[in-house]
Each structure stands twice: as C-alpha cells, then as structure tokens.
A and B are shown apart, each in its own frame.
Chain A
C-alpha cells in the first residue's frame, strides 16, 4: 500500500502513527509533511529506522517551494508529480492519512 502524509511531523503525530501502523509498501511525504524527509532534524532517527519495512519518498516540488532542497535523510527518494502518479499506479491501494 501507498501511504500519503501531508502534515508537518512537528505539529502532528500523523507520520509517527503511520510509520508504526504501516506493515510495508511505500510512504510519500507531500505538502507540509516534506519537512519529515529532511536530514539533521530531531526526527531523522525515527524516520530513518522505518526504512527497514517501508520505502520512503518525498515530493520534490513541495520541498523546493519551502526552500528545503538540501540534504535528505539517506534512502529517501525525491520524486515529482509524474513519480507520484507512478507510485499510485504501482500500489494496489493508497491511503491519505488526513
């Protein structure tokens, strides 16, 4: 399954819950959730550890809009909207964690 997150992990527990609940598949960070993909934050360890069971992606245009195109957590893949479409297509279901 593809899990889509759009909340900043600094104000919402959404990313944390998702990383614990998700059994496998992919996670895509969009909108304010992109801050969770950035290297050097207090969350890096937790996000990075989730990569043993989940493949993490982040939406590039949302990173760039926020001036966050610097270093990402190693392993997190930056994609564009076309890549977003491919992710949806590749997984049987998707869930937006609103």
Chain B
C-alpha cells in the first residue's frame, strides 16, 4: 500500500449538512484516511459549522442523521477538530451549541493551521 508515509491531512468543511451531500461524503473520506494511519484534522469554516449543531433530527426529511458520526470520530483517533471563531459568532452559535468538543480558532490561526498541512481536501 502506501508504506510508512504519514502525511498531515486537513479536511476543510464549509458547507451546511443535508442541502447537499458534501458533508456526509466528506466524513466517509475522513474515516478512510484515519484507517490509513494518516495525521487527520478537520476544520469547520463558514456554513460548515452547522454540521456540528446539536439536536439534528432528520426524521421529517427521510435522510440519514449522520451528525452522530462526529461523536464517533474519537474512536478512530480523530481528535483534532477546529472551528472558525468568526463563523460561529456570525451565526449566533457558541461551543455549547456543538455536539463535539472542538478547538476554536480565529481566522488568522486557521490560516496558520492550513499552512502546516501536507494535503488539504475541501468538499
């Protein structure tokens, strides 16, 4: 397979869930990347922060509620979740509104996080 190479992968999520499929299919890549023993981080910017909103109930739209998967990420050793401070504040959200524990970064710190990566995937 890919030998011992470990790269830093950052998944940048900027889209709201359900309206389009990107958030769900992005999570699938995240899990596979962790299975390849890569160094995985997730960043949530702009509408991407809505992916982490507590209390999602998809019964009425007959789609799979995949928000619970974010809670399961820890079990795959994916613990580096970063949320853009400005995006959260602009949307009237606080850390308490989110269903997982995250590190909040302002835009400048987010830019530095990106600079530190080997591969950036954005869906």
Contact = CB atoms under 8 A, between A and B. Distances in A.
Direct contact of A and B (CB under 8 A): yes
Interface of A: 1, 13-14, 17, 20-24, 93-98
A23 B84 CA distance: 15
B120 A94 contact: yes
Contact of B122 (A1, A21, A23, A97): A97
B12 A95 contact: yes
B32 to A, nearest CB: 19
B110 interface: yes
B107 A20 contact: yes
B123 A22 contact: no
Contacts of A22: 111, 114
Nearest to B105: A21
7 contacts: A17-B107, A21-B114, A22-B111, A95-B12, A97-B14, A97-B122, A98-B122
Interface of B: 12, 14-15, 22, 45-46, 84, 86, 107-108, 110-112, 114-115, 117-120, 122-123
Contacts of B119: 93
A25 B112 CA distance: 12
A36 B116 CA distance: 27
A98 B14 contact: yes
A4 B57 CA distance: 34
B118 A21 contact: no
A97 B22 CA distance: 13
A64 to B, nearest CB: 27
B123 A93 contact: no
A1 B12 CA distance: 15
Given A13-B46, A95-B12, A97-B14, A21 B111 contact: yes
A95 B46 CA distance: 16
A23 B111 contact: yes
Given A13-B46, A17-B45, A23-B108, A96 B122 contact: yes
